[in-house]
Amino acid sequence: MTTSALPALSDIEDRTIPGVLRIENSDREATAPIIMDRLRSVYPHDQIFGMFCPVQDYIAVPPRELYAYLADPRSLEEWSYGMRGFAETDQPGLWVAADRLVPDTEIYIRTVANPDAMTVDYHCAWDQGEHLWMVYLMRVIDAQVVLNKPGSVVTWINCHHPFYDENPYPETAPPGREEWVGDLWEMFSAGHKLELGNLKAIAEYRASHGLPITPDWMR
C-alpha cells in the first residue's frame, strides 16, 4: 500500500492552511487531546441548534415508499403540526396552505425531490410564493445500509437563513400580525422533532396495519 502518493493540497503554499488538522501536521497523539477536549457532558443549545437545526430518526417503513410519501407536499397536511388546507396554485408544483401556528398566515411550498438520492427539499415561505427561502432539507436513507435493519432513516436539516431574523417582505404579511416565523427558530429543534415523531407514528401505523404509506386521498 502506498501512502500520500496523491498531490493533496499541492496548490497551497507549504500545503498548510491554519486550522487544518491532518495526520501529516497533527499525529494521533497530538490530535487525541483536541478531540477529548471537545467531548462534553452537555452542549449549549445554541451550539447544536443555533446556525443549523438537524433532527433525525429511524422509521420502520420501506424507504422507497416513505420517500414517495414525503415527496408529495400534501403529506404535510398529515404529519406537520399545523399546515392545513393544501391547494395547488396556478403555478404547477407550487402549493399553498394555512400555517395555523399564527392567524391568517399562508405558507407556500414547493418540493424539489431526487428519487436517486431520495432527497426531498421543501422550499417554503410565509406570505408569498415568489422567494421560497425557508428550505427544509430531508433525506431518506435505506436503514439496511446504515443500521443493518429494514426500514428508513430520515435526516432533516434546516439552516438559519438571515430572513428568519428579519422579514424581508413585510408588505406581504397580513395586517396586524406581530409574530414572525423566525421568532420560533429556537423552538425548531423541539418542534421539528415533534413533527418527525408525527411522521414516524403515521408511517409506522400504516406499515403495521397493511395500509399504503401514501394514502388514497393523495393519489
30 versus 187: smaller Cβ distance to other proteins? 30
- Residue by residue, DSSP assigns 2-62 as --S-S-TTTTSGGG--TT---TTTS-HHHHHHHHHHT--S---HHHHHSSEEEEEEEESS-
Closest to 103 measured CA to CA, from 80, 126, 123, 79: 126
29 versus 171: smaller Cβ distance to other proteins? 29
2 versus 41: smaller Cβ distance to other proteins? 41
The window from 30-38, 91-99, 113-121, 136-144 that contacts other proteins (CB under 8 A) reads 30-38
Query: What is the smallest separation between the CB atom of 28 and other proteins, expressed in angstroms?
Result: 11
**Residues from 55 through 94 that contact other proteins (CB under 8 A):** none
Among 6, 42, 51, 87, binds other proteins (CB under 8 A): 42
37 versus 171: smaller Cβ distance to other proteins? 37
Q: Give Cβ neighbours of residue 167 (< 8 Å, ≥ 6 apart).
A: 173, 180, 182
Query: What is the smallest separation between the CB atom of 44 and other proteins, expressed in angstroms?
Result: 9
Calpha distance 140→117 (Å, rounded)? 8
Q: Give the position of cell 425531490.
A: 113
DSSP three-state, residue 98: strand
List the helix and strand counts (H, then E) for the chain: 6, 7
211 touching other proteins, by CB under 8 A: no
The window from 27-35, 70-78, 141-149, 205-213 that contacts other proteins (CB under 8 A) reads 27-35
46 touching other proteins, by CB under 8 A: no
37 versus 90: smaller Cβ distance to other proteins? 37
Among 11, 13, 14, 37, binds other proteins (CB under 8 A): 37
Torsion sign (Cα): 183, 187, 191, 192: positive
The window from 5-13, 29-37, 57-65, 75-83 that contacts other proteins (CB under 8 A) reads 29-37
Q: Give the position of cell 399562508.
A: 106
23 touching other proteins, by CB under 8 A: no
35 touching other proteins, by CB under 8 A: yes
